[in-house]
Amino acid sequence: MSNETKKILFVCVQNASRSQMAQGFAETFGKGRVEVYSAGSRPSSHINPLAIEVMKEKDIDLSGRQPKGLNDLPPVEMDYLVTMGCEETCPAVLSKRVLEWDVPGPRGKSIEVFRQVRDLSEEKVKAVFKEIGKNI
């Protein structure tokens, strides 16, 4: 069992919905045992208000966050790099393990679609924690 804090990075294109939701879940489930980051290859100027709204339904507050670019990340090796169904090839980030999730982008869709993306992200984040649980 490792005492080293695991580092997880979630990447999507805009860092406005999918990766922000995944980061919120990972921070909640990890309860300080992991360092969690999210970023976008082409970050938006703000987090999508519907992403904030549907995460509030899970008691996770994203309202004070801002989208970040890959250049905003610390220069460290991640334990897990999770791509969230990027519409393009995500730039390489130094990581021990890469997971590619096919999570549809909800931008421009209904709140019901945002809830589906939120719930899918929650299940996938739980699966990652189950996989690495004995090491965190």
- The strand pair at 34-40 and 6-12 is best described as parallel
Strand ranges for the chain from DSSP E? 6-12, 34-40, 78-83, 95-100
**How far, CA to CA in Å, does 78 sit from each of 8, 75, 119?**
6, 9, 24
Three-state secondary-structure class, residue 114: helix
Q: Which residues are catalytic?
A: 12, 86, 90
Edge-to-edge, what's the strand order for the sheet holding 6-12? Answer: 34-40, 6-12, 78-83, 95-100
Q: Are 11 and 39 in contact (CB under 8 A)?
A: yes
